[in-house]
Structure 1
Amino acid sequence: MMQHVESHPFPLMFATISGAHLYGFPSPDSDFDLRGVHLLPLETVVGLDGSNEKGGKQAVEKEGIYDGLEIDLVTHDAAKFFAMMLRRSGYVLEQIFSPLVVFTTSEHQELKQIATDCITRHHSHHYLGFAATQWKLFNKESPPRVKPLLYVYRVLLTGIHLMRTGVVEANLVTLNENAKLTYLDDLIAQKQTGPEKGTLSAADLKFHEAEYERLTKELETAHEQSTLPEMPSARPALNDLLVRLRLRSKR
């Protein structure tokens, strides 16, 4: 996995593992989703190509199999990633706070501190939208797969936990220690021991639909009752960090 990091065309601020491994239910054949932040050189961002996605390489994507592991790497330039942090994207926060760290720097540690001031009560909309998308995907398939159903539960419980505590927790096993939804243990076991595209042979669709609706309402209520701020306050700190990173890259 470090081979992906070492061969990256730009310096990295951090690289962490996302996807099923972070969520706590990888299948034996799950690939590794590597996510992170890179830093474009100063000459690139101040030139005409700096505002061009292709010329500036604001996103770098690489796929490959290394030592038998299928790895999917996606990184964004710091400026683009910092801008995403100021929106309602729980996805980028999960990357920052992922405990599965492949590569880190002191700036990554600083970013974790700053990221806490990016969390708002409106991040609930990210998780509600993601859950709705996964629920539609789950219902479209025949036979229904375990993976999208687990994603539904994962994002709803992550959103509820975030609204109540202000803490980003993406691991479904950890989340279920508090939620205590006994049926999740069976679903996770089925996903972990079976193939990536494992299906539900006898899914109780009515039960899961009722649970989806119940947890959706619970997240909506958690949003209404949340004491998290309305807006992020991290913009000045993110700007300061970005300027320091850019200037240092010139030295």
Structure 2
Amino acid sequence: MIPASVQNEIRSRLRRAESEHGVKVLLAVESGSRAWGFPSPNSDFDARFIYAHPPEWYLSVDLEEKRDVIEYPIVDDLDVNGWDLRKALRLFWKSNPGFVEWIQSSIIYEASGSFHQCVLQLLPSIYSTEAGIHHYRSMAKTNYRGYLQQEKVPLKKYFYVLRPLLAVRWMERFSTPAPIEFDQLLRVADDEAFVGAVQELLEVKRRSPEMGLSPQIPPIQQFIESELKRLEQATPAKGERAAGVSALSDVFRAILRETWGNQGVSA
């Protein structure tokens, strides 16, 4: 649950972004550990937003040189940053994990117009599970090698390996984008000892500002090492996407018309 005071401050900063940059915010959500379902009591608030410039901004010879992000420093544990609409849709076509996770967040600060609904409807036909599996497998491997091979490990890093490994399992099993909530992902785990150990660790993380170092947790360590070994030999299935990039161009034009009217945007 996000405190009302935090929500109000985030919305105030969104209005500031609109005023300073001449844009309109289409969607603003919480990302990171709060959206994943395993925040610590002192976790930052990671607000992410998608915004649109007026149509004329995109009708420019130097479009590729223009800045397509809005970034602010972290103040009072609030990290508020955004992507331009065109950038977001181009990354959507590449199955960018950041964007795909943002649009699936259940913590929505605001949603204007039909943008959120449009991209969620397109998600199953745009997303490449092959690309998703490669990304999450690499993320799990990097965090495992960096943090979980010592006798004592930083406990919170278990989640940065478990979440991507469970996401891979989800995509292998269902051939759909993986949900971002950790409790949902845990449904694809079959071993009771492993699930019990993870749930105990979840409770510790939700209660503790800093988890610190601890000896390895055998059921979790065994699951991670077994999955990483299995994935070394696995080849993600290739699949044809049902929608082409033209569908995203249609969304781009439709959202600009909806947001700014018909100035400069042809049908």
Letter in structure 1 aligned against 2:81 = V
Which deviations, in whole Å up to 9, do the C-alpha atoms of 1:109-142 show, x marking residues without a partner?
Answer: 1111012212223121011011112213324889
The match for 1:61 is: 71
Q: Which residue of 1 aligns with 2:6?
A: none
User: What is the CA RMSD across the aligned residues, in angstroms?
Assistant: 2.6
Which one-letter code corresponds to 1:58 in the other structure?
Answer: D
Instruction: Work out which of the residue numbers 153, 168, 181 in structure 2 matches 1:144.
Output: 153
Report deviation, 1:143.
5.1
User: 1:209–1:177: structure 2 CA closer, same or farther, 3 Å change rule?
Assistant: closer
Mapped contact 1:143–1:199 kept (Cα < 8 A): no
Aligned-pair CA distance for 1:230: 3.8
Paired position in structure 1 for 2:115: 107
Identity %: 23
Matches within 5 A, 1:179-190: 179=189, 181-190=195-204
- Give the match's secondary structure for 1:16: strand
CA–CA separation in structure 2 for the residues paired with 1:219 and 1:15: 34
Query: Which whole-Å CA distance do the structure 1 matches of 2:61 and 2:227 have between them?
Result: 48
The equivalent residue for 1:172 is 182
**Cα drift, residue 146 of structure 1:** 2.0
- Per the normalisation by structure 2, the TM-score is 0.79
Q: Residues 213, 232 of structure 1: CA spacing in aligned structure 2 closer, same or farther, 3 A cutoff?
A: farther
Structure-2 separation of matches of 1:219 and 1:93: 22
**Based on CA coordinates, which of the two structures has the bigger radius of gyration?**
2
Q: Is contact 1:19–1:33 with CA below 8 Å preserved after alignment?
A: yes
Cα distance in 1, alignment partners of residues 24 and 140 from structure 2: 34
How far apart are the structure 1 equivalents of 2:232 and 2:241?
A: 18
Q: Distance in 2 between the 1:157 and 1:111 partners?
A: 24
Structure 1 length-normalised TM = 0.84
Deviation at 1:27, TM superposition (A): 0.3
Contact preservation (8 Å) 2:155, 2:214:
no
- Measured in 2, the distance between the counterparts of 1:230 and 1:221 equals 23
In the TM superposition, residue 149 of structure 1 has moved relative to its aligned partner by 1.4
Structure 2 equivalent of residue 82 of structure 1: 89
How much does 1:81 deviate?
1.0
1:45 is aligned to 2:53: no
Q: Structure 1 pair 230/210, CA: closer, same or farther in 2 (3 Å)?
A: farther
Report the CA distance between 1:220 and its aligned residue: 6.8
Distance apart, 1:60 and its partner CA: 1.1
**Aligned in 2, Cα 1:133/1:40: closer, same or farther, shift over 3 Å?**
farther
In structure 1, the partner of 2:49 is 36
* Secondary structure at the counterpart of residue 8 of structure 1: helix
Matched AA of 2:120: K
1:215 aligns with 2:223: no
CA distance in 2, matches of 1:51, 1:126: 26
Q: Is the 8 A contact 2:147 2:154 kept in 1?
A: yes
Q: Counterpart of 2:164?
A: 155
Q: Partner letter of residue 32 of structure 2? A: G
Deviations 1:1-21 (A, max 9, x none): 222222223211211111001
Contact 1:162 1:169 in 2 (8 A): no
* Paired position in structure 1 for 2:5: none
Shift of 1:210: 2.9
Question: In structure 2, what is the Cα distance between the partners aligned to 1:73 and 1:222?
Answer: 38
How far does the alpha carbon of each residue in 1:52-75 deviate from its partner, in whole angstroms, 9 at most, with x for none? Answer: 1xxx3311112344xxx6211221
Give, in angstroms, the shift of residue 41 of structure 1: 2.3
Per mean C-alpha deviation after superposition, the further-off stretch among 4-13 and 103-112 is 4-13
Distance in 1, matches of 2:135 and 2:168, equals 8
Q: Quick check: 1:240 aligned with 2:253?
A: no
Distance 1:6 1:141 in 2: 46
Structure 1 stretches lacking a partner, 5+ long: none
User: Residues 200-232 of structure 1: CA distance to partner in whole angstroms, max 9, x if unpaired?
Assistant: 32224x6544321322356678864x5x72446
1:24/1:171 contact within 8 Å kept = yes
